[in-house]
Amino acid sequence: MRVRRATLADLPPIAAIEKASFPDPWPAELLAAYFDDRHALVLVAEDPCVVAFLIARTESSSRRGRVLHIHDLAVAPSHRRRAVGGLLLAELISVARRQGVPRLGLEVRVDNVSARRFYEHYGFQTVQRVARYYDDGGAALRMEHDLEGPSLGSWVEGLSARSRSRPASSP
Ligand SMILES: CC(C)(COP(=O)(O)OP(=O)(O)OC[C@H]1O[C@@H](n2cnc3c(N)ncnc32)[C@H](O)[C@@H]1OP(=O)(O)O)[C@@H](O)C(=O)NCCC(=O)NCCS
């Protein structure tokens, strides 16, 4: 499993994973726009084909300072529960540290329980509930991960070993 920066050539598999992962997938044109955004970062995990992606943007607010904000993240259904999402987060954290960005942030649907468990597993904490955040009126949880906290190192270092050790056919 390898994580790397995506190029526009990765758009078809990214769009396919998006479609397989969400009931209301973003269209390919919207995903493509991130490749023209100099504040955006698009990562893919490949095994050897692209099996997951993560899109984040560096953003800032006067109240919270700079944050790497996760806009989209999905793992192909065939590759879930093998720490692939965690590997993408680990790479995002490396980028944040190189850029001196102290925090990761995101919004997740309140009813997306698996994603909430995933982010909690990797140390994100809910900081706010936002009613009617989505176009369909659904609520979101705003979650953050403080990268200056003490407890991060062990899981980041353990991840690549874990992802290598799981065979492709395991559930
Ligand atoms: C959420 C998602 C990215 C997780 O990716 P993943 O590679 O399967 O996650 P990991 O293997 O790194 O999971 C790490 C831990 O998160 C938790 N977790 C992950 N998926 C979970 C699920 N479906 N139910 C409960 N807990 C889950 C577990 O604690 C898991 O550890 P374990 O496997 O040892 O029990 C993936 O399920 C996905 O693509 N979902 C659809 C798209 C989506 O909802 N994206 C998030 C949008 S905000």
Question: pLDDT (tens digit, 9 = 90+) per residue, 15-74?
Answer: 999 999 999 999 999 999 999 999 999 999 999 999 999 999 999 987 778 999 999 999
Q: Is the CB of 82 under 6 A from ligand 1?
A: yes
Which two three-digit tokens encode residue 73? 């993240």
Domain 2-164 has CATH 3.40.630.30: yes
Q: Is the CB of 80 under 6 A from ligand 1?
A: yes
Q: Is the CB of 74 under 6 A from ligand 1?
A: yes
User: Percent of the chain scored above 70 by pLDDT?
Assistant: 87
Q: Where are the domains of the chain?
A: 2-164
Distance 170 CA to ligand 1 centre (A): 15
The answer for residues whose C-beta is within 8 angstroms of residue 56's C-beta and 6 or more apart is 40, 41, 43, 68, 69, 70, 71, 92, 104
Lookup result for tokens 């790479």: 91
Q: Is the CB of 93 under 6 A from ligand 1?
A: no
Give the separation between CA 72 and CA 169, rounded to whole angstroms.
25
Contact 130, 107 (CB under 8 A): yes
Distance 62 CA to ligand 1 centre (A): 32
Contact 73, 39 (CB under 8 A): no
Check whether 161 has a pLDDT greater than 70. Answer: no
